[in-house]
Structure 1
Amino acid sequence: MRALMLLLLLSTAAAQVPATVTGIATVTDGDTLQIRGVKVRLFGIDAPESSQTCTRAGKVYGCGREAAFALADLVRNKTVTCTRKDVDRYGRMVGVCTVGGTEINRWLVQQGWALPYLQYGGGIYSSTASQAKSAGKGLYAGTFQNPWDYRKNPGSPPTAGTAGTNTVPPVPATSTVYYANCTAARAAGAAPLRAGQPGYRAAMDRDNDGVACE
Protein backbone atom coordinates (compact mmCIF):
# COMPACT_ATOMS: atom_id res chain seq x y z
CA MET A 1 0.00 0.00 0.00
CA ARG A 2 2.82 2.39 0.92
CA ALA A 3 4.59 1.69 -2.37
CA LEU A 4 1.38 2.35 -4.27
CA MET A 5 0.85 5.67 -2.48
CA LEU A 6 4.43 6.71 -3.26
CA LEU A 7 3.93 5.81 -6.91
CA LEU A 8 0.77 7.89 -7.06
CA LEU A 9 2.52 10.84 -5.45
CA LEU A 10 5.40 10.63 -7.91
CA SER A 11 2.98 10.39 -10.84
CA THR A 12 1.11 13.46 -9.60
CA ALA A 13 4.38 15.36 -9.15
CA ALA A 14 5.52 14.43 -12.66
CA ALA A 15 2.29 15.75 -14.14
CA GLN A 16 2.87 19.11 -12.45
CA VAL A 17 6.48 19.56 -13.60
CA PRO A 18 6.82 21.28 -17.00
CA ALA A 19 8.74 19.70 -19.87
CA THR A 20 10.97 22.77 -20.08
CA VAL A 21 11.52 25.90 -18.03
CA THR A 22 13.41 29.05 -19.02
CA GLY A 23 14.43 32.09 -17.00
CA ILE A 24 16.94 33.59 -14.59
CA ALA A 25 18.16 30.87 -12.22
CA THR A 26 19.04 30.92 -8.56
CA VAL A 27 21.40 28.31 -7.13
CA THR A 28 20.46 26.01 -4.26
CA ASP A 29 23.66 23.97 -4.26
CA GLY A 30 26.24 22.63 -6.69
CA ASP A 31 23.75 20.55 -8.67
CA THR A 32 20.39 22.21 -8.04
CA LEU A 33 18.79 25.31 -9.56
CA GLN A 34 15.49 27.09 -9.27
CA ILE A 35 13.85 28.88 -12.20
CA ARG A 36 10.49 30.65 -11.92
CA GLY A 37 9.56 28.53 -8.93
CA VAL A 38 10.58 25.24 -10.57
CA LYS A 39 13.35 23.36 -8.78
CA VAL A 40 15.74 21.53 -11.07
CA ARG A 41 18.13 18.76 -10.00
CA LEU A 42 20.80 18.49 -12.69
CA PHE A 43 20.56 15.13 -14.43
CA GLY A 44 23.40 12.60 -14.35
CA ILE A 45 25.76 14.46 -12.04
CA ASP A 46 26.41 14.71 -8.30
CA ALA A 47 28.17 17.68 -6.71
CA PRO A 48 29.50 17.90 -3.15
CA GLU A 49 26.88 18.64 -0.51
CA SER A 50 26.65 22.18 0.86
CA SER A 51 28.14 21.05 4.19
CA GLN A 52 30.84 18.89 2.61
CA THR A 53 34.54 19.66 2.98
CA CYS A 54 37.52 18.39 0.99
CA THR A 55 41.29 18.87 1.16
CA ARG A 56 43.52 20.82 -1.20
CA ALA A 57 47.22 21.62 -0.76
CA GLY A 58 46.97 20.02 2.68
CA LYS A 59 44.16 22.30 3.83
CA VAL A 60 40.47 21.65 4.41
CA TYR A 61 38.07 23.79 2.37
CA GLY A 62 34.34 23.94 1.72
CA CYS A 63 34.17 22.10 -1.59
CA GLY A 64 30.37 22.01 -1.48
CA ARG A 65 30.24 25.78 -1.27
CA GLU A 66 32.88 26.23 -3.99
CA ALA A 67 30.87 23.99 -6.33
CA ALA A 68 27.76 26.09 -5.66
CA PHE A 69 29.72 29.33 -6.20
CA ALA A 70 31.08 28.02 -9.52
CA LEU A 71 27.54 27.24 -10.68
CA ALA A 72 26.28 30.62 -9.47
CA ASP A 73 29.03 32.43 -11.38
CA LEU A 74 28.14 30.53 -14.56
CA VAL A 75 24.43 31.37 -14.52
CA ARG A 76 24.41 34.78 -12.83
CA ASN A 77 21.95 37.16 -14.53
CA LYS A 78 21.75 34.90 -17.59
CA THR A 79 18.81 33.06 -19.14
CA VAL A 80 18.90 29.34 -18.37
CA THR A 81 16.81 26.68 -20.09
CA CYS A 82 16.23 23.27 -18.50
CA THR A 83 14.65 20.26 -20.18
CA ARG A 84 13.06 17.57 -18.05
CA LYS A 85 14.47 14.05 -18.06
CA ASP A 86 12.69 12.80 -14.94
CA VAL A 87 11.03 13.91 -11.69
CA ASP A 88 12.57 12.98 -8.34
CA ARG A 89 10.90 12.01 -5.07
CA TYR A 90 10.71 15.64 -3.98
CA GLY A 91 8.78 16.63 -7.08
CA ARG A 92 11.79 18.41 -8.55
CA MET A 93 12.51 18.37 -12.25
CA VAL A 94 15.58 16.28 -13.05
CA GLY A 95 16.90 17.94 -16.16
CA VAL A 96 19.63 18.97 -18.54
CA CYS A 97 20.20 22.73 -18.48
CA THR A 98 21.94 25.13 -20.81
CA VAL A 99 23.11 28.74 -20.58
CA GLY A 100 24.47 30.66 -23.54
CA GLY A 101 24.98 27.48 -25.55
CA THR A 102 26.83 25.72 -22.69
CA GLU A 103 25.39 22.56 -21.16
CA ILE A 104 25.59 23.20 -17.43
CA ASN A 105 25.62 19.54 -16.38
CA ARG A 106 28.65 18.76 -18.53
CA TRP A 107 30.38 22.03 -17.67
CA LEU A 108 30.31 21.24 -13.95
CA VAL A 109 31.89 17.85 -14.62
CA GLN A 110 34.39 19.45 -17.00
CA GLN A 111 35.46 21.92 -14.30
CA GLY A 112 35.77 19.16 -11.72
CA TRP A 113 32.96 20.45 -9.48
CA ALA A 114 30.62 17.51 -10.08
CA LEU A 115 31.02 13.78 -10.70
CA PRO A 116 29.16 11.53 -13.12
CA TYR A 117 26.28 9.97 -11.19
CA LEU A 118 26.54 6.56 -12.82
CA GLN A 119 23.55 5.18 -10.94
CA TYR A 120 21.33 7.78 -12.59
CA GLY A 121 22.49 8.09 -16.19
CA GLY A 122 25.80 9.86 -15.58
CA GLY A 123 27.81 7.52 -17.78
CA ILE A 124 27.52 10.06 -20.60
CA TYR A 125 29.87 12.31 -18.61
CA SER A 126 32.54 9.72 -17.79
CA SER A 127 35.04 10.79 -20.45
CA THR A 128 34.59 14.44 -19.46
CA ALA A 129 35.34 13.53 -15.85
CA SER A 130 38.49 11.68 -16.89
CA GLN A 131 39.73 14.83 -18.61
CA ALA A 132 39.00 16.96 -15.54
CA LYS A 133 40.83 14.45 -13.36
CA SER A 134 43.87 14.44 -15.63
CA ALA A 135 43.94 18.25 -15.54
CA GLY A 136 43.56 18.36 -11.75
CA LYS A 137 40.52 20.62 -11.92
CA GLY A 138 38.12 21.38 -9.09
CA LEU A 139 37.77 18.48 -6.69
CA TYR A 140 40.63 16.68 -8.44
CA ALA A 141 43.07 19.33 -7.22
CA GLY A 142 43.04 17.54 -3.88
CA THR A 143 41.27 14.70 -2.12
CA PHE A 144 37.54 14.28 -1.63
CA GLN A 145 34.81 11.83 -0.74
CA ASN A 146 32.25 10.95 -3.37
CA PRO A 147 29.06 12.89 -2.57
CA TRP A 148 26.97 9.69 -2.47
CA ASP A 149 29.41 8.17 0.05
CA TYR A 150 29.36 11.37 2.09
CA ARG A 151 25.57 11.13 2.37
CA LYS A 152 25.79 7.51 3.51
CA ASN A 153 28.25 8.36 6.28
CA PRO A 154 26.37 8.45 9.63
CA GLY A 155 28.67 11.27 10.73
CA SER A 156 27.65 13.53 7.86
CA PRO A 157 24.67 15.90 8.20
CA PRO A 158 21.59 14.34 6.55
CA THR A 159 20.59 15.86 3.24
CA ALA A 160 17.39 16.26 1.28
CA GLY A 161 18.16 13.40 -1.10
CA THR A 162 19.14 12.85 -4.69
CA ALA A 163 17.49 12.28 -8.03
CA GLY A 164 15.79 9.02 -8.82
CA THR A 165 15.61 7.50 -5.33
CA ASN A 166 12.39 6.10 -3.92
CA THR A 167 13.03 6.25 -0.19
CA VAL A 168 11.15 8.35 2.35
CA PRO A 169 12.82 11.73 3.06
CA PRO A 170 14.76 11.86 6.35
CA VAL A 171 13.10 13.21 9.47
CA PRO A 172 14.73 16.43 10.65
CA ALA A 173 17.02 15.81 13.60
CA THR A 174 16.83 17.73 16.86
CA SER A 175 19.49 20.43 16.92
CA THR A 176 20.92 22.75 19.58
CA VAL A 177 21.78 25.30 16.87
CA TYR A 178 19.08 27.95 16.48
CA TYR A 179 18.61 30.70 13.91
CA ALA A 180 15.78 33.17 14.46
CA ASN A 181 15.17 33.42 10.72
CA CYS A 182 16.78 32.92 7.33
CA THR A 183 18.50 36.30 7.52
CA ALA A 184 20.33 35.10 10.63
CA ALA A 185 21.20 31.78 9.00
CA ARG A 186 22.62 33.54 5.94
CA ALA A 187 24.60 35.96 8.11
CA ALA A 188 26.15 32.95 9.85
CA GLY A 189 27.06 31.44 6.48
CA ALA A 190 24.88 28.40 7.18
CA ALA A 191 22.26 28.80 4.44
CA PRO A 192 20.83 26.86 2.74
CA LEU A 193 19.89 24.45 5.53
CA ARG A 194 18.82 20.91 4.69
CA ALA A 195 16.50 18.75 6.76
CA GLY A 196 18.55 17.17 9.55
CA GLN A 197 21.33 19.75 9.50
CA PRO A 198 21.98 21.81 12.65
CA GLY A 199 19.72 24.85 12.68
CA TYR A 200 17.12 23.52 10.23
CA ARG A 201 13.54 24.29 11.24
CA ALA A 202 10.39 23.51 9.29
CA ALA A 203 9.20 27.06 9.95
CA MET A 204 12.00 28.37 7.72
CA ASP A 205 11.27 25.83 4.97
CA ARG A 206 8.41 27.68 3.29
CA ASP A 207 7.89 25.23 0.44
CA ASN A 208 8.42 22.13 2.59
CA ASP A 209 11.01 20.62 0.25
CA GLY A 210 13.56 19.77 2.93
CA VAL A 211 15.73 22.80 2.14
CA ALA A 212 15.32 26.00 4.17
CA CYS A 213 16.62 29.49 3.38
CA GLU A 214 17.53 28.64 -0.22
Structure 2
Amino acid sequence: MRALMPLLLLSTAAAQVPATVSGIPTVTDGDTLVIRGVKVRLFGIDAPESSQTCTRAGKVYGCGREAAFALADLVRNKTVTCTRKDTDRYGRMVGVCAVGGTEINRWLVQQGWALPYLQYGGGIYSSAAGQAKSAKRGLYAGTFQNPWDYRKNPGSPPTAGTARTNTVPPAPATTGVTYANCAAVRAAGKAPLLRGQPGYAPKLDRDSDGVACE
Protein backbone atom coordinates (compact mmCIF):
# COMPACT_ATOMS: atom_id res chain seq x y z
CA MET A 1 0.00 0.00 0.00
CA ARG A 2 2.83 2.35 0.88
CA ALA A 3 4.35 1.93 -2.59
CA LEU A 4 1.04 2.88 -4.20
CA MET A 5 0.66 6.15 -2.30
CA PRO A 6 2.85 8.32 -4.62
CA LEU A 7 0.93 7.04 -7.65
CA LEU A 8 -2.39 7.74 -5.99
CA LEU A 9 -1.28 11.26 -5.07
CA LEU A 10 -0.13 11.94 -8.64
CA SER A 11 -3.39 10.61 -10.08
CA THR A 12 -5.36 12.88 -7.77
CA ALA A 13 -3.23 15.90 -8.70
CA ALA A 14 -3.65 15.19 -12.42
CA ALA A 15 -7.41 14.97 -12.04
CA GLN A 16 -7.42 18.45 -10.51
CA VAL A 17 -5.60 20.14 -13.41
CA PRO A 18 -8.13 22.26 -15.34
CA ALA A 19 -8.50 22.25 -19.12
CA THR A 20 -7.91 26.01 -19.21
CA VAL A 21 -6.88 28.66 -16.74
CA SER A 22 -6.86 32.45 -17.09
CA GLY A 23 -5.56 35.26 -14.96
CA ILE A 24 -2.63 37.55 -14.26
CA PRO A 25 0.33 35.23 -13.83
CA THR A 26 3.39 34.99 -11.67
CA VAL A 27 6.55 34.08 -13.57
CA THR A 28 8.64 31.46 -11.82
CA ASP A 29 11.22 30.96 -14.57
CA GLY A 30 11.60 31.29 -18.32
CA ASP A 31 9.12 28.54 -19.17
CA THR A 32 6.84 28.33 -16.15
CA LEU A 33 3.90 30.42 -14.96
CA VAL A 34 1.56 30.23 -12.00
CA ILE A 35 -2.02 31.37 -12.59
CA ARG A 36 -4.55 31.27 -9.76
CA GLY A 37 -2.51 28.62 -7.99
CA VAL A 38 -2.09 26.44 -11.10
CA LYS A 39 1.50 25.86 -12.15
CA VAL A 40 1.80 25.81 -15.94
CA ARG A 41 4.85 24.40 -17.70
CA LEU A 42 4.92 25.83 -21.23
CA PHE A 43 4.44 23.04 -23.77
CA GLY A 44 7.16 22.14 -26.25
CA ILE A 45 9.84 24.56 -25.09
CA ASP A 46 12.72 24.62 -22.64
CA ALA A 47 14.25 27.83 -21.29
CA PRO A 48 17.55 28.12 -19.41
CA GLU A 49 17.37 27.47 -15.68
CA SER A 50 17.28 30.50 -13.40
CA SER A 51 20.79 29.75 -12.13
CA GLN A 52 22.18 29.16 -15.62
CA THR A 53 24.76 31.45 -17.18
CA CYS A 54 25.75 31.90 -20.82
CA THR A 55 28.30 34.03 -22.65
CA ARG A 56 27.74 37.06 -24.85
CA ALA A 57 30.36 39.36 -26.33
CA GLY A 58 32.96 37.44 -24.35
CA LYS A 59 31.22 38.04 -21.01
CA VAL A 60 29.26 35.74 -18.74
CA TYR A 61 25.66 36.78 -18.02
CA GLY A 62 22.63 35.30 -16.32
CA CYS A 63 20.73 33.96 -19.32
CA GLY A 64 18.25 32.13 -17.11
CA ARG A 65 17.35 35.33 -15.35
CA GLU A 66 17.09 37.26 -18.62
CA ALA A 67 14.76 34.62 -20.07
CA ALA A 68 12.52 34.88 -17.02
CA PHE A 69 12.57 38.67 -17.15
CA ALA A 70 11.65 38.65 -20.86
CA LEU A 71 8.64 36.49 -20.06
CA ALA A 72 7.73 38.70 -17.11
CA ASP A 73 7.87 41.82 -19.27
CA LEU A 74 5.58 40.22 -21.84
CA VAL A 75 2.85 39.25 -19.38
CA ARG A 76 3.16 41.95 -16.71
CA ASN A 77 -0.30 43.00 -15.44
CA LYS A 78 -1.98 41.23 -18.36
CA THR A 79 -4.45 38.37 -18.46
CA VAL A 80 -2.93 35.16 -19.75
CA THR A 81 -4.95 32.15 -20.88
CA CYS A 82 -3.39 28.71 -20.89
CA THR A 83 -4.89 25.63 -22.52
CA ARG A 84 -3.81 22.24 -21.29
CA LYS A 85 -2.04 20.01 -23.81
CA ASP A 86 -1.00 17.42 -21.26
CA THR A 87 -0.47 16.78 -17.57
CA ASP A 88 3.07 15.79 -16.63
CA ARG A 89 3.96 12.97 -14.29
CA TYR A 90 4.16 15.41 -11.40
CA GLY A 91 0.56 16.53 -11.88
CA ARG A 92 1.42 19.91 -13.43
CA MET A 93 -0.37 21.44 -16.38
CA VAL A 94 1.62 21.42 -19.61
CA GLY A 95 0.01 24.05 -21.78
CA VAL A 96 0.04 26.54 -24.59
CA CYS A 97 -0.47 30.06 -23.26
CA ALA A 98 -1.47 33.30 -24.92
CA VAL A 99 -1.55 36.97 -23.97
CA GLY A 100 -3.61 39.12 -26.27
CA GLY A 101 -3.01 37.69 -29.73
CA THR A 102 0.48 36.38 -28.93
CA GLU A 103 1.24 32.73 -28.26
CA ILE A 104 3.77 32.87 -25.45
CA ASN A 105 5.45 29.53 -26.18
CA ARG A 106 6.26 30.50 -29.78
CA TRP A 107 7.21 34.07 -28.84
CA LEU A 108 9.85 32.88 -26.37
CA VAL A 109 11.43 30.69 -29.05
CA GLN A 110 11.26 33.46 -31.66
CA GLN A 111 13.02 35.83 -29.27
CA GLY A 112 15.73 33.27 -28.56
CA TRP A 113 14.91 32.85 -24.87
CA ALA A 114 13.73 29.24 -25.15
CA LEU A 115 14.56 26.25 -27.31
CA PRO A 116 12.23 23.73 -28.94
CA TYR A 117 11.96 20.78 -26.58
CA LEU A 118 11.97 18.15 -29.35
CA GLN A 119 11.53 15.28 -26.89
CA TYR A 120 8.19 16.74 -25.83
CA GLY A 121 6.49 17.99 -28.98
CA GLY A 122 8.69 21.01 -29.59
CA GLY A 123 9.21 20.29 -33.28
CA ILE A 124 6.36 22.71 -34.06
CA TYR A 125 8.69 25.52 -32.91
CA SER A 126 11.73 24.57 -35.02
CA SER A 127 11.12 27.26 -37.63
CA ALA A 128 10.75 29.88 -34.89
CA ALA A 129 14.11 28.79 -33.49
CA GLY A 130 15.64 29.13 -36.95
CA GLN A 131 14.43 32.73 -37.11
CA ALA A 132 15.96 33.52 -33.71
CA LYS A 133 19.25 31.89 -34.63
CA SER A 134 19.49 33.77 -37.93
CA ALA A 135 18.80 37.07 -36.19
CA LYS A 136 21.12 36.20 -33.27
CA ARG A 137 18.42 36.96 -30.72
CA GLY A 138 18.54 36.03 -27.05
CA LEU A 139 20.67 32.97 -26.39
CA TYR A 140 21.89 32.97 -29.99
CA ALA A 141 23.69 36.27 -29.44
CA GLY A 142 26.42 34.22 -27.77
CA THR A 143 27.11 30.69 -26.60
CA PHE A 144 25.00 28.56 -24.28
CA GLN A 145 24.41 25.06 -22.99
CA ASN A 146 21.13 23.35 -23.73
CA PRO A 147 18.96 23.58 -20.60
CA TRP A 148 18.39 19.81 -20.52
CA ASP A 149 22.15 19.21 -20.52
CA TYR A 150 22.63 21.82 -17.81
CA ARG A 151 20.11 20.06 -15.55
CA LYS A 152 21.83 16.69 -16.02
CA ASN A 153 25.16 18.07 -14.77
CA PRO A 154 25.44 17.41 -11.02
CA GLY A 155 27.94 20.26 -10.83
CA SER A 156 25.40 22.85 -11.94
CA PRO A 157 24.47 25.20 -9.08
CA PRO A 158 20.97 25.09 -7.60
CA THR A 159 18.42 27.29 -9.29
CA ALA A 160 18.38 30.73 -7.70
CA GLY A 161 17.76 34.38 -8.41
CA THR A 162 14.33 34.26 -10.02
CA ALA A 163 11.21 34.31 -7.88
CA ARG A 164 9.61 30.90 -7.62
CA THR A 165 6.25 29.83 -6.26
CA ASN A 166 5.92 26.53 -4.43
CA THR A 167 2.57 25.01 -5.36
CA VAL A 168 3.17 21.72 -3.54
CA PRO A 169 2.12 21.68 0.14
CA PRO A 170 5.10 21.39 2.47
CA ALA A 171 5.75 18.04 4.04
CA PRO A 172 7.90 16.99 7.00
CA ALA A 173 11.52 16.35 6.19
CA THR A 174 12.28 12.68 5.65
CA THR A 175 14.87 10.84 7.66
CA GLY A 176 16.96 7.74 7.20
CA VAL A 177 17.94 7.83 3.53
CA THR A 178 20.19 10.69 2.39
CA TYR A 179 21.88 11.48 -0.92
CA ALA A 180 24.81 13.82 -1.49
CA ASN A 181 23.51 15.01 -4.87
CA CYS A 182 21.25 14.10 -7.77
CA ALA A 183 23.96 11.98 -9.35
CA ALA A 184 23.76 9.70 -6.32
CA VAL A 185 19.96 9.61 -6.57
CA ARG A 186 20.12 8.59 -10.23
CA ALA A 187 22.81 6.00 -9.52
CA ALA A 188 20.47 4.46 -6.95
CA GLY A 189 17.67 4.41 -9.51
CA LYS A 190 15.44 6.61 -7.32
CA ALA A 191 15.04 9.70 -9.56
CA PRO A 192 12.83 11.63 -9.48
CA LEU A 193 12.07 12.00 -5.77
CA LEU A 194 8.81 13.55 -4.61
CA ARG A 195 8.58 15.62 -1.45
CA GLY A 196 7.81 13.22 1.39
CA GLN A 197 9.59 10.25 -0.16
CA PRO A 198 12.69 8.79 1.56
CA GLY A 199 15.79 10.67 0.46
CA TYR A 200 14.04 13.86 -0.65
CA ALA A 201 15.88 17.00 0.50
CA PRO A 202 15.34 20.67 -0.39
CA LYS A 203 18.91 20.95 -1.68
CA LEU A 204 18.06 18.40 -4.39
CA ASP A 205 14.92 20.28 -5.47
CA ARG A 206 16.32 23.13 -7.57
CA ASP A 207 13.02 24.78 -8.42
CA SER A 208 11.29 24.03 -5.11
CA ASP A 209 8.33 22.39 -6.86
CA GLY A 210 8.33 19.28 -4.69
CA VAL A 211 10.10 17.14 -7.30
CA ALA A 212 13.82 16.55 -6.81
CA CYS A 213 16.30 15.35 -9.44
CA GLU A 214 13.74 15.52 -12.25
When normalised by structure 1's length, the TM-score is 0.75
Return the alpha-carbon distance in structure 1 between the equivalents of residues 100 and 91 of structure 2: 27
Per-residue CA deviation, residues 54-90 of structure 1 (Å, 9 max, x unaligned), is 0000000000000000000000000100001111233
Q: Kindly state the Cα deviation for residue 21 of structure 1 after the two structures are TM-superposed.
A: 0.2
Instruction: Tell me what 1:74 maps to.
Output: 74
CA contact (8 A) 2:51 2:158 kept: no
Return the alpha-carbon distance in structure 2 between the equivalents of residues 20 and 30 of structure 1: 20
The 5 A counterparts of 1:1-214 are 6-157=6-157, 167-169=191-193, 171-172=200-201, 195-196=205-206, 209=210
Return the alpha-carbon distance in structure 2 between the equivalents of residues 157 and 5 of structure 1: 31
What SS is found at the alignment partner of 2:105?
Answer: helix
Unaligned regions of 5+ residues in structure 1, if any?
A: 161-165, 175-193, 198-204
CA contact (8 A) 1:13 1:87 kept: no
Q: Kindly state the Cα deviation for residue 128 of structure 1 after the two structures are TM-superposed.
A: 0.8
What SS is found at the alignment partner of 2:156?
Answer: coil
Unaligned regions of 5+ residues in structure 2, if any?
A: 165-189, 195-199
CA contact (8 A) 1:44 1:123 kept: yes
Instruction: Tell me what 2:186 maps to.
Output: none
Return the alpha-carbon distance in structure 2 between the equivalents of residues 56 and 137 of structure 1: 11
Residues 65 and 2 of structure 1: CA distance in aligned 2, closer, same or farther (over 3 Å): farther
Return the alpha-carbon distance in structure 2 between the equivalents of residues 130 and 137 of structure 1: 10
C-alpha RMSD of the superposition: 2.6
Return the alpha-carbon distance in structure 2 between the equivalents of residues 69 and 15 of structure 1: 31
Return the alpha-carbon distance in structure 1 between the equivalents of residues 46 and 2 of structure 2: 28
Identity of aligned residues (%): 84
Return the alpha-carbon distance in structure 2 between the equivalents of residues 169 and 144 of structure 1: 28
Which structure has more relative contact order (CA 8 Å, sep 6+)? It is: 2
Return the alpha-carbon distance in structure 2 between the equivalents of residues 114 and 99 of structure 1: 17
